[in-house]
A and B are shown apart, each in its own frame.
Chain A
Amino acid sequence: DQQVKQNSPSLSVQEGRISILNCDYTNSMFDYFLWYKKYPAEGPTFLISISSIKDKNEDGRFTVFLNKSAKHLSLHIVPSQPGDSAVYFCAARKGGSEKLVFGKGTKLTVNP
């Protein structure tokens, strides 16, 4: 029973273009969503988050959009850079819980 789904295992984009990574969730009790980035042989690194009371959060080149009615969020990276090449995990949390539920990740490759 996968509550957080990232249906694209991989994504390839050209440097300078926009990268859009998608994430769907099934549990309507989730109220906080996060994106983590992971390089090989390293631990995940927090990237950006959004509360369910918002529909957009922006931090530099990274923007997360939340569509609660569709139970969908997306991470936009613009412009994409080769250093952005990594696996991106979407995660969600229920109010009152410290437990994060992760998707399986999307491997982003940004080609120079």
Chain B
Amino acid sequence: NAGVMQNPRHLVRRRGQEARLRCSPMKGHSHVYWYRQLPEEGLKFMVYLQKENIIDESGMPKERFSAEFPKEGPSILRIQQVVRGDSAAYFCASSPFQDTGELFFGEGSRLTVL
């Protein structure tokens, strides 16, 4: 009964490269959320997805960031042309249904941009 699986746990990129973070939700969960935690900050909502649909992307930066949750496979958070300010912990969470704040979080992916 695996929890939310995120990989890689740690990712180092140079400025201008691309970062891809993957998230497999808990079994039976069809709702996926991405949050970002900057140093000394709380978690900030980025995007909410259901299978093949982006439901709310109001927290996503307008450029360079994209997310998907395909019919098959994990959810992907993609950051193009990374900059130092993208260095953060990116947490994925899942839930089995809507209208619950009781999210199940993964252990996070820590991105470091050199």
- Tell me the A residues contacting B by CB distance below 8 Å: 4, 6, 32, 34, 36, 41-46, 49, 89, 91, 93, 97-105
Contact B108 A43 (CB under 8 A): yes
The answer on a CB contact under 8 Å between A49 and B43 is no
Residues of chain B at the chain A interface (Cβ within 8 Å)? 4, 31, 33, 35, 40-45, 48, 55-56, 58-59, 91, 93, 98-99, 101-108
Q: Is the CB of B33 within 8 A of A98?
A: yes
Residue of B nearest to A105 (CB): B42
Which one of A41, A44, A97, A101 lies within 8 Å of B105 (CB-CB)? A44
**Chain A minimum-CB-distance residue to B106:** A43
Q: How near does chain B come to A4, taking the closest CB pair, in angstroms?
A: 7
B102 touching A34, Cβ below 8 Å: yes
Q: For the complex, give the distance between the alpha carbons of A101 and B46 in Å.
A: 11
* Bound-complex Cα distance A34 to B103 (A): 10
* B43 x A98 contact (CB < 8 A): no
Task: For B43, give its contact among A32, A45, A89, A97 (CB under 8 Å).
Answer: A89
Using known A-B contacts A89-B42, A98-B48, A99-B45, determine if residue A46 contacts B103 with beta carbons closer than 8 Å: yes
Is B45 in contact with A41, judged by CB distance below 8 angstroms? no
Are A101 and B45 neighbours in the complex by a CB distance under 8 Å?
Answer: yes
* Residues A100 and B59 in contact, CB atoms below 8 Å apart: no
Contact of A102 among B44, B55, B56 (CB under 8 A): B44
Which A residue's beta carbon lies closest to that of B102?
Answer: A46
Chain B residue contacts of A97, Cβ below 8 A? 56
Q: Would B98 and A43 count as touching, CB distance under 8 A?
A: no
C-alpha gap A107/B50 in the complex (Å): 33
Contact of A93 among B44, B101, B108 (CB under 8 A): B101
Interface centre among B59, B91, B93, B102 (most CB of A within 10 A): B102
Bound Cα distance A31, B107 (Å): 28
> Are the CB atoms of A104 and B101 closer together than 8 Å?
no
Distance between A7 CB and nearest chain B CB, rounded to angstroms: 13
Query: Besides A100-B103, A102-B43, 12 other CB < 8 A contacts?
Result: A41-B107, A43-B91, A43-B93, A43-B106, A46-B104, A49-B101, A99-B48, A99-B56, A99-B58, A100-B35, A102-B42, A102-B44
